[in-house]
Structure 1
Amino acid sequence: MTKDWAVATGHPLATSAAKRILSAGGNAVDAGVAAGLTLGVVQPDLVSVAGVAPIIMFDSQTGMVTSYDGVGGWPEAADVDRMHRDHGDHVPEGILRTVIPAAPASWIRALSCKGTMRFADIAEEAIAAAQDGFVVYPLFADFVASRKEKYARFASTAAIFLPDGKPPLFGQRFLQTDLAWTLEQMVAAEAAAGPDRLAGLAAARAAFYTGPIAERIVAFHAERGGLLTAADLAGYQVREEPTLPIRFRGAEIHCCGAWCQGVSMAQALAMIEQAGPEAANRDGTLNLHFVIEVLKCVFADREAYVTDPDHMPVPQQHLIEPDFIASRLADIGTMSDPMPAPGRINSGQPEVFRIGCADTSHVSVIDGAGNIFSATPSDPSYDTEVVPGTGLSVSSRGSQSRSIPGHLNALAPGKRPRLTPNPILALRDGKPWMAMGTPGGDVQIQAMVQVLLHILDQGKTVKDAVRAPRVATYSFPGSFSPHDMHPNKVMYESDLPSDQVADLAARGHDLSPWPANTWMAGGVCLAMRDATGMTAVADTRRAGTAATAGD
């Protein structure tokens, strides 16, 4: 393997972890898992070590693209009728929205199948950051402070995130010694299994899903009236899922499937590609009206059709078939459609506008051999109870299910919530080209589509494409409880050129400005390999950093 590589992650310590692994001879998967595990420690407001971790990878030796869903299903005790009776239409915050934690299994599956290193090798930075602490940075401090009342609801969560009853301050050191214990249990189990790498990884996984960590999780859920059982944890398996490859401007973009909103990313790209560059671009800039209307159609179809593929009413391929794409393009006019069918749902009362979701992070890695790793780990800590003695806020991703009997995304035993995290990777002429992803909830695919258009249609450098001002539509039911919708609403960063703002206003969009370079517009992490070499860019909108071997 050559020493050339590119890394972009959501936090400097995660980037450092990936750099160390790559410099030591590890591959993109080793580095990506090290970074992803570290993100669960140093971004504990946005990412959980016991959360979700969808992964998409390219193997340069086989030329194959693989994705792991990295999301657990609902516990077997989940009952939508009981949830609706007790809590109404929305899954409540707290322990009842817990689904089976997938991230540890997802990381270890990737290491076992495509990596070269042991768990202890890749966990060094994560354990150190948990045991010795990390310096509180502005986004983390602001996030916890703005949700102080939510963190204070649960004693075990407040004990970590509100030490002495106060949010952590910028510059302080934030400790998570219980989380260090959890990771050390996995390392110790690996060591006890002997020198065989795969046996050691299996033992590390078992420590979490059937060993001392599982015991603490299960006991706490039993004590607090949760649904998760030992059988749920012991029976969990990450699923390898087919990717959805889309030809887009000469590149082959691989998206994840309908178990997340990856199929919506694929549909958006398919619509823009089929319409041609002349539709997405006008007078030397992006035709944002067209892009927004495409996204509104995509989100309408997401609401109508997209759920765990085991429960979808139509095959996911239907949403990217040329005839269907053509029919959706025919619905786009010169003026804004506030709520395109079939997503037209009227609750009968106005909704309070919410600015979006901050949870999630990302890691993109390309190594010198051309292997690609792209993962979007997630799950917040403010909306659930930390399991005492473990430091774990176990996956609260049930927030993206519905407690409405008969709803497409109604919770059910074993059923996966429809994830917002959806990493992508791209090839050109069959060769590795790009890894990309972003936090941002429903803004994720919107941010990535705009970045791709700036690179492939507008000819911007990667750095300029990531930095370019963004827009986001909210004309659809949101993915997170309470699933608000805001017909015709478009947010735009305040440094968007005035002529583009004026054009959107003239076409009937309900516009509101964000601050320039705001975290609400995403936090893209992008690694690229082309004829000029390696490039890595992390969005300055958030706390991410990027590095290449030459840095």
Structure 2
Amino acid sequence: MPASDATWLAPRTSLTGSRHAVSSGHHLASAAAFAILEAGGNAIDAGCCAGIALAVLHADEVNFGGVAPIMIRTADGQVVTIDGLGVWPRGIPADLFVREHDGTIPTGLLRTVTPAAPDAWITALRDHGTMTFGEIAAAAIRLASDGFAIFPLIAEGIAARQAGYRRWPANAAIYLPEGRPPRVGERFVQTDLAATLQAMVDGEQAAGGTREAGLEAARAVFYRGEIAERIVAYHEQHGGYLTREDLAAFRCRYEPAVVTRWRDLELLTCGPWCQGPMLAQALLVLEAAGLDGLDHNSADYVHLVVEALKGVFADREHHYGDPAFVDVDLERLLSPAHADARARAINRERAAPGLPPALFGESQSLPAPSRLDAPAVVGEGGVGGEAEPKEGGTSYVCVVDRWGNAFSATPSDGASTSPVIPGTGIVPSLRGLQSRPDPRHPAGVAPGKRPRLTPNPAIALLDDGSVMPFGCPGGDMQVQAMLQVLLNRFHFGMDLQQAINAPRFSTWSFPNSFAPFDYLPDRLLVEDRFDEPTLAELERRGHVVGRWPAFTRDAAAVEAIVRDRTSGFLHAGADPRQPASAIVG
């Protein structure tokens, strides 16, 4: 349809500036980051500021003690990733969940891995930032201690998961003040979280010396000092496995970005310890299959993208895991031969029935996913409409500064399926819910091993020197939404915000990343902005079509910035599917 007739152009338009830009999952986090930029901080300072603020503002979806994978591209072209992901405690038996929990990962302390986000923010600041922890955490401390107005997304999330919060008094005290979920417009205060952050600032200030020494002192308060002692004491008293040694020894890992050429750009993703390389794989499969001549969001286009994604999700299921424990043959997975094989396996007239097979190296011990008869609604942590919604999680922030540094981060972890440590305001990372209970699985449990993470920040680098950091919340929807935005922008030529606003679709024909790993073969969900003939044609091809409301957060919420090297301008977009905000200057 002509661009002027597209109803999805309405919600927002791209913002353009010439100095610096930030886009994040909440306007107050973006405002805090922009203030850092205006004060002379760089993209890393501002991104860390927003990331910690999101742990306050999206308190039911981002936890300061959770995960925070980060990608940084400095102005001189250096690219680094910081995994921001914890590991299973050293003392946990690999077969614990198979042997004692009937192949499930139960709610509570047993899903705890080492909290990684505090170290991730401090590592990024130490090595690439210019400011102190106290400077970049000030906004989060104020928002936590003074409170902020409850907005619909957090009100709905807490209300939906209130049964989980009621399990533990410390969780209920924060998330259910007055014994009920907070209502839109009420003030939401997190006094203990403010105290935790302030204790780290106090440790930094007491250290004296260099900025780096202060940052290490702030970190030590969390991993070796009073916060660590509270975490460990609670685990010792309640049957957890996290120890002083686990916390003291933990450091986030620097790992090279996965660099993939697609047309006139290089796509930078994190490694297969998360689902990031899937995005590159999907682009390569679609390029091999051929996109030319397909109308945007036509039945032919949606079918092809969905079938390509099914094959890539199969590769994730059979191959992706912590490379320190699993031999992930990324060279083969990202090869033209593999992309061609996946493309050739697509039937243009018929949907593949469920998860496609592995094309190489399939583990004989990997069980086939069991089919699930479930409602056609899928949310962040799995299938919606059940008696008990799954754990919520994830937000996103990207920043580009006046010098050309780019920052992309996807902080995450909720607080409804594991206990808040009393007096801290945090849940040590419950990301173990993304490991498979069977240690034989590539993403299976093992002491010291990272769960396979869904959050996956990315950056695109164009041959003309332009840069685009982008990402989103959304669990297994993340790669699907990021792929569609990339194609909208660089294949269909849309304006950045148009590319974000456009209607989305999704496949769920694979085991979900979150325990209990729901599997919905043939399920195709679309936002309620597709025409009836398109949906009828998709159903004729064998897709089981369900509908999301228009602009639903379940379709993920992509934020992005483009630094256009040719014009010198920065263009920023924020997804109307959540209270996201972009600010440019």
* Interval of TM-score (by shorter of Structure 1 and Structure 2): over 0.9
Distance in 2 (alpha carbons) for counterparts of 1:510 and 1:484:
16
SS in 1 for 2:398: strand
Structure 1 equivalent of residue 78 of structure 2: 64
Q: Deviations over 1:235-294 (max 9, x none)?
A: 001101111112223111101110100121121122123334327657989711110001
Distance in 1 (alpha carbons) for counterparts of 2:187 and 2:144:
10
Contact 1:31–1:122 (Cα < 8 Å) also in 2: yes
Structure 2 equivalent of residue 22 of structure 1: 37
Contact 2:18–2:570 (Cα < 8 Å) also in 1: no
Structure 1 equivalent of residue 501 of structure 2: 467
Verify: 1:347 aligned to 2:362, yes or no: no
Please tell me the residue identity of whatever aligns with 2:24: T
Structure 1 equivalent of residue 418 of structure 2: 384
Q: Deviations over 1:16-45 (max 9, x none)?
A: 111000000111000000000100111110
Distance in 2 (alpha carbons) for counterparts of 1:523 and 1:349:
26
Distance in 2 (alpha carbons) for counterparts of 1:29 and 1:211:
26
SS in 2 for 1:425: strand
2:88 aligned to which of 61, 68, 74? 74
Contact 1:280–1:288 (Cα < 8 Å) also in 2: no
Structure 1 equivalent of residue 238 of structure 2: 224
Distance in 2 (alpha carbons) for counterparts of 1:332 and 1:450:
19
* Structure 1 unaligned blocks of 5 or more: none
Contact 2:289–2:344 (Cα < 8 Å) also in 1: no
Q: How far off is 1:98 after superposition?
A: 0.5
Contact 1:474–1:485 (Cα < 8 Å) also in 2: yes
Change (3 A) 1:202 1:346: closer
Distance in 2 (alpha carbons) for counterparts of 1:481 and 1:169:
29
Q: How far off is 1:157 after superposition?
A: 0.8
Q: How far off is 1:430 after superposition?
A: 6.3
Distance in 2 (alpha carbons) for counterparts of 1:28 and 1:36:
12
Contact 2:525–2:548 (Cα < 8 Å) also in 1: yes
Structure 2 equivalent of residue 436 of structure 1: 470
Structure 2 equivalent of residue 445 of structure 1: 479
Q: Deviations over 1:305-328 (max 9, x none)?
A: 111112224422221011111111
Please tell me the residue identity of whatever aligns with 2:217: A
Q: How far off is 1:528 after superposition?
A: 1.0
The within-5 A match list for 1:109-188 is 109-188=123-202
Change (3 A) 1:120 1:498: same
Verify: 1:83 aligned to 2:97, yes or no: yes
Please tell me the residue identity of whatever aligns with 2:125: L
Change (3 A) 1:259 1:104: same
Please tell me the residue identity of whatever aligns with 2:518: D
Q: How far off is 1:164 after superposition?
A: 2.1
The within-5 A match list for 1:201-220 is 201-220=215-234
Verify: 1:541 aligned to 2:573, yes or no: no
Verify: 1:373 aligned to 2:396, yes or no: no
Verify: 1:515 aligned to 2:535, yes or no: no
- Equivalent residue pairs, number: 547
Contact 1:249–1:456 (Cα < 8 Å) also in 2: no
* Structure 2 unaligned blocks of 5 or more: 1-16, 359-366, 381-391
Distance in 1 (alpha carbons) for counterparts of 2:130 and 2:371:
56
Contact 1:371–1:432 (Cα < 8 Å) also in 2: no
Distance in 1 (alpha carbons) for counterparts of 2:511 and 2:262:
27
Please tell me the residue identity of whatever aligns with 2:545: L
Verify: 1:338 aligned to 2:353, yes or no: yes
Distance in 2 (alpha carbons) for counterparts of 1:37 and 1:405:
33
Structure 2 equivalent of residue 46 of structure 1: 61
Change (3 A) 1:279 1:182: farther
Distance in 1 (alpha carbons) for counterparts of 2:18 and 2:543:
49
SS in 2 for 1:277: coil
Structure 2 equivalent of residue 12 of structure 1: 27
Structure 1 equivalent of residue 322 of structure 2: 308
Contact 1:84–1:403 (Cα < 8 Å) also in 2: yes
Contact 1:309–1:316 (Cα < 8 Å) also in 2: no
Verify: 1:494 aligned to 2:523, yes or no: no
Q: How far off is 1:467 after superposition?
A: 0.4
Q: How far off is 1:153 after superposition?
A: 1.2
1:196 aligned to which of 207, 210, 224? 210
Query: How big is the alpha-carbon RMSD for the aligned residues of Structure 1 and Structure 2?
Result: 1.8
Please tell me the residue identity of whatever aligns with 1:96: L
Structure 1 equivalent of residue 385 of structure 2: none
Q: How far off is 1:3 after superposition?
A: 7.1
1:101 aligned to which of 99, 107, 115? 115
Distance in 1 (alpha carbons) for counterparts of 2:374 and 2:549:
22
Change (3 A) 1:282 1:3: closer
Distance in 2 (alpha carbons) for counterparts of 1:470 and 1:190:
45
SS in 1 for 2:233: helix
Distance in 1 (alpha carbons) for counterparts of 2:242 and 2:124:
25
Contact 2:472–2:556 (Cα < 8 Å) also in 1: yes
SS in 1 for 2:227: helix
Return 104-113 or 493-502, whichever deviates more. Answer: 493-502
Distance in 1 (alpha carbons) for counterparts of 2:93 and 2:543:
40
Contact 2:378–2:554 (Cα < 8 Å) also in 1: yes
SS in 2 for 1:309: coil
Contact 2:377–2:548 (Cα < 8 Å) also in 1: no
Structure 2 equivalent of residue 427 of structure 1: 461
Please tell me the residue identity of whatever aligns with 2:421: V
Change (3 A) 1:100 1:199: same
Please tell me the residue identity of whatever aligns with 2:486: L
Return 87-96 or 35-44, whichever deviates more. Answer: 87-96
Change (3 A) 1:216 1:4: same
Structure 1 equivalent of residue 537 of structure 2: 503
Q: Identity, % of aligned pairs? A: 46
Contact 1:279–1:287 (Cα < 8 Å) also in 2: no
SS in 1 for 2:337: helix
SS in 2 for 1:431: coil
Q: How far off is 1:104 after superposition?
A: 0.6
Q: How far off is 1:224 after superposition?
A: 1.2
Verify: 1:479 aligned to 2:513, yes or no: yes
SS in 2 for 1:388: coil
Structure 1 equivalent of residue 8 of structure 2: none
1:236 aligned to which of 212, 230, 250? 250
Q: How far off is 1:426 after superposition?
A: 1.1
Instruction: Give the structure-1-normalised TM-score.
Output: 0.96
Structure 1 equivalent of residue 559 of structure 2: 525
